[in-house]
């Protein structure tokens, strides 16, 4: 008899019960996925994530008591195994950077919930990053504009060391500093130092830019087309 498939345990946090109900409906259709708890504010989401250690936490960015950005950061600290999906109405490159800097792996527009949430949860549960298609286009355009404004000669001379390539790969895969520290056998402070040095050396200013660098230089694979 084969092994029973491990369930994907999901926490849903949104201050609107109607939205939570809609999310439950979308996730319930997936075999092996289970919403194990819900939260109506950011503080409750952090407490439940710390206690239950879900595989995935879906967070609204605008919640009372503690917003989604702070909640995402605290959840990543309290439960490093938990992959965070952030829901928002904001189509802003700056907001994308702020969200990804919390350690969240997915940025989903609320207007795209019905078509993109399942794909987002599927990707982050596999350790991949996910951006709503419109946001992915926005980030790419911003990155190209930044690259065009920088010095091509300086960029061509900057080459990461083998250790820096490892750090870039793990960061681009959405790993938190603590996870990288454990995987490479180095201190969290050393990871932070490497990260700062990499950004300075390569002329990068945010995690999305680092991810695009990693894809362009074949350090990680580009995500496939939407299913």
Over residues 3-42, the pLDDT tens digits come to: 556 799 999 999 999 999 999 999 988 999 999 999 999 9
d(CA 76, CA 83): 8
Determine what percent of the chain falls in helix, strand and coil, rounding each to the nearest 5.
55, 15, 30
Over residues 96-154, the pLDDT tens digits come to: 888 888 889 999 999 999 999 999 999 999 888 888 888 877 766 665 555 555 544 44
d(CA 66, CA 50): 15
Domain coordinates in residue numbering, the chain: 8-136, 149-216
At the top level of CATH, the class of 8-136 is alpha beta
pTM (global) more than 0.85: no
Q: H/E element holding 104? A: none
Over residues 171-195, the pLDDT tens digits come to: 988 888 899 999 999 888 888 888 8
- Please give the biggest Cα pair distance in the chain: 61
Query: Which of the following CATH numbers is that of domain 149-216: 1.10.10.10, 3.30.43.10, 1.10.1670.10, 3.30.200.20?
Result: 1.10.10.10
């Amino acid at each position: 008899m084969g092994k029973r498939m491990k369930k994907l345990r999901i926490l849903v946090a949104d201050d609107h019960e109607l939205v939570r109900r809609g999310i439950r409906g979308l996730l319930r259709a997936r075999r092996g996925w289970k919403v194990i708890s819900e939260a109506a504010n950011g503080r409750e989401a952090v407490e439940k994530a710390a206690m239950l250690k879900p595989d995935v936490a879906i967070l609204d960015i605008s919640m009372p008591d503690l917003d989604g950005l702070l909640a995402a950061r605290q959840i990543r600290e309290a439960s490093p195994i938990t992959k965070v999906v952030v829901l928002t109405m904001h189509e802003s490159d700056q907001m994308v950077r702020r969200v990804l800097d919390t350690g969240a792996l997915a940025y989903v527009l609320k207007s795209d919930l019905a078509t993109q949430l399942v794909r987002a949860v599927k990707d982050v549960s596999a350790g991949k990053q996910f951006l709503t298609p419109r946001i992915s286009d926005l980030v790419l355009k911003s990155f190209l504009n930044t690259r065009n404004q920088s010095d091509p000669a300086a960029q061509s001379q900057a080459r990461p060391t083998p250790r820096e390539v490892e750090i870039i790969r793990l960061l681009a895969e959405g790993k938190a500093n603590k996870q990288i520290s454990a995987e490479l056998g180095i201190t969290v402070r050393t990871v932070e130092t490497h990260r700062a040095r990499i950004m300075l050396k390569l002329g990068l200013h945010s995690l999305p830019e680092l991810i695009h660098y990693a894809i362009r230089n074949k350090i990680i694979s580009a995500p496939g087309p939407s299913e």
